[in-house]
Homo-oligomer: A and B are copies of this chain.
Amino acid sequence: MIPFKLTEELLSEIEQLIDDRQDDALHTMMEEVHYADIAEIINELNEDQATYLIKLLDSGKTSDVLTELDEDVREAILGNLSSKEIAGELEELDTDDAADIIAELPREIVQEVISEITDREHARDIVDLLRYDENSAGGLMAKELVKVNENWTVLTCVREMRHQAENVTRVHSIYVVDDEGILKGRLSLKDLLTASTKAPIREVYIPKVDFVNVNEKPEEVAKIMSKYDLEAIPVVDEIGRLVGRITIDDIVDVIREEADKDYQLAAGISQDVEADDSIWELTRARLPWLFLGLVGGVGAAAIMGGFESLISQHAILFFFTPLIAAMAGNVGVQSSAIIVQGLANDDLKGSITQRLVKEMMLAALNGLILAAVLLLFTWFWKGNLPTALAISISLIAVIVVAGIVGTFIPLFLHRRGIDPAIATGPFITTSNDIFGILIYFWIAKLLLGIG
């Protein structure tokens, strides 16, 4: 496959064709292009050009394009379409994608758009999905699935399945339900084909099936599906009725978004932003964490102000404060990152105390090695062994405390039901800066026998 590459030339060629209203040329050009690539093109066009192209192309294709667009671009384009046109697009989409788009529409036109959908069953399914929290299995699932009643015969089943499969892009599994719609099991295509046509489904289905509750968190669904290598999972309501199914492609998106979010939090970016967002959006996502850093720095300055009397005799202590702050911050971030990842992947075993003891030993080991190096450097630099010793011993203490803080905070947040990912990055760095400098001066003062 030659991967599609949106070059400047291609883009300006398309813009020219749109501005010249070369409909035939556009049609021919776009015919071979995948909807995900068309979305990439449209994200770069201006609103008028984008709307023109969407209206020009067939809704079988543009509906998929719409689902792939950046949110602001999609909003702009839908604002230029009539309710009937929007309904036409939704008609082509699976219910989960359609519901996602409707959830973004302005309240006042939602009802009108839904009333314009000609396939009433499709409309009902979409409306059902709108009820679920976006951040739950219900918010992820689609209504498109193939289900059969345990009381049917194989023959009825095959006939019904053929009908249902028309609406389902990819049949992953055939689910078996009872008269109440409660999920009982699944059916393998192989068993279905080899069983007698008169046999009741009850006798051929597999009663073991993985499923998730409609209120399950998307991250949990992702964990289950990737742990058990599932490509689709049925979703049941509180009394076990089959209400939808989630496919692996939606889960891939969940995993990517989670990873992006954790990464940004660790880097001190508080909202989901991209490099191409406006300066204003980027500032809003970044400034809060920088403020936190500022507060930490001011706190550190205030602490150092309190030790000002040392400055004439032991100026060198002040030269190492950035080093102390950096080491405290780095160790804290390392410790917390490992804990955050362990919690996310569910592979943390043992008690908090064990964890803290291990981290303390680890930090002490790292601290000893680093302190030895620093000792040699400061000793040679200033030729003053007591000061060099005081600085190095303080460094060990600072590193051990930083490791403990970095381990404890995410575990504590997790216990309290707060996403521990916010603990890595600036939060840990800032508190460790202040703590570190306080401990450093306090121990150094003690060791040097001042005050």
A interface residues with partner B (beta carbon < 8 Å) = 1, 3, 34, 36, 44, 170, 210-213, 220, 224, 226-229, 231, 248-249, 251-253, 255-256, 259-260, 262-264, 266-269, 273-276, 279, 282-283, 286-287, 289-291, 293-294, 296-298, 300-302, 304-305, 308, 311-312, 315-316, 318-327, 329-331, 333-334, 336-339, 341-342, 345, 347-349, 355, 358, 361-362, 365-366, 369-370, 373-374, 377, 381, 424-426, 429-430, 433, 437
Asked if B298 and A330 sit within 8 Å, CB to CB, the answer is no
Q: Kindly identify which residue among B262, B296, B338 contacts A326, using a CB–CB cutoff of 8 Å.
A: B296
Q: Kindly identify which residue among B326, B347, B362 contacts A297, using a CB–CB cutoff of 8 Å.
A: B326
A336 to chain B, nearest CB (A): 8
Asked if B334 and A289 sit within 8 Å, CB to CB, the answer is yes
Chain B CB within 10 Å, residue with most, of A276, A361, A373, A377 = A276
Extra contacts besides A287-B369, A294-B374, A305-B316 (16): CB < 8 Å: A3-B220, A226-B249, A226-B256, A259-B259, A263-B337, A267-B336, A268-B330, A269-B337, A290-B370, A297-B323, A302-B381, A304-B322, A321-B322, A325-B325, A325-B326, A333-B425
Q: How far is the CA of A14 from the CA of B342 in the complex (A)?
A: 25
A338 neighbours in B (Cβ, 8 Å): 267, 269, 273-275, 282
Asked if A290 and B331 sit within 8 Å, CB to CB, the answer is yes
A224 neighbours in B (Cβ, 8 Å): 1, 3
Q: Kindly identify which residue among B294, B301, B318 contacts A370, using a CB–CB cutoff of 8 Å.
A: B294
Asked if B325 and A322 sit within 8 Å, CB to CB, the answer is yes
If the complex has contacts A266-B267, A274-B338, A348-B276, are A212 and B1 also in contact, measured as CB distance less than 8 A?
yes
Q: Kindly identify which residue among B44, B259, B283, B326 contacts A263, using a CB–CB cutoff of 8 Å.
A: B259
A259 neighbours in B (Cβ, 8 Å): 255-256, 259, 262-263
Q: How far is the CA of A259 from the CA of B330 in the complex (A)?
A: 20
A218 to chain B, nearest CB (A): 14
Q: How far is the CA of A268 from the CA of B303 in the complex (A)?
A: 27
List 3 A-B pairs, minimum CB-CB distance, nearest first.
A297-B323, A267-B337, A259-B259
A321 to chain B, nearest CB (A): 5
Q: How far is the CA of A291 from the CA of B246 in the complex (A)?
A: 46
If the complex has contacts A275-B348, A318-B318, are A326 and B269 also in contact, measured as CB distance less than 8 A?
no
A429 neighbours in B (Cβ, 8 Å): 326, 329-330
A286 neighbours in B (Cβ, 8 Å): 331, 334, 362, 366
Asked if A333 and B267 sit within 8 Å, CB to CB, the answer is yes
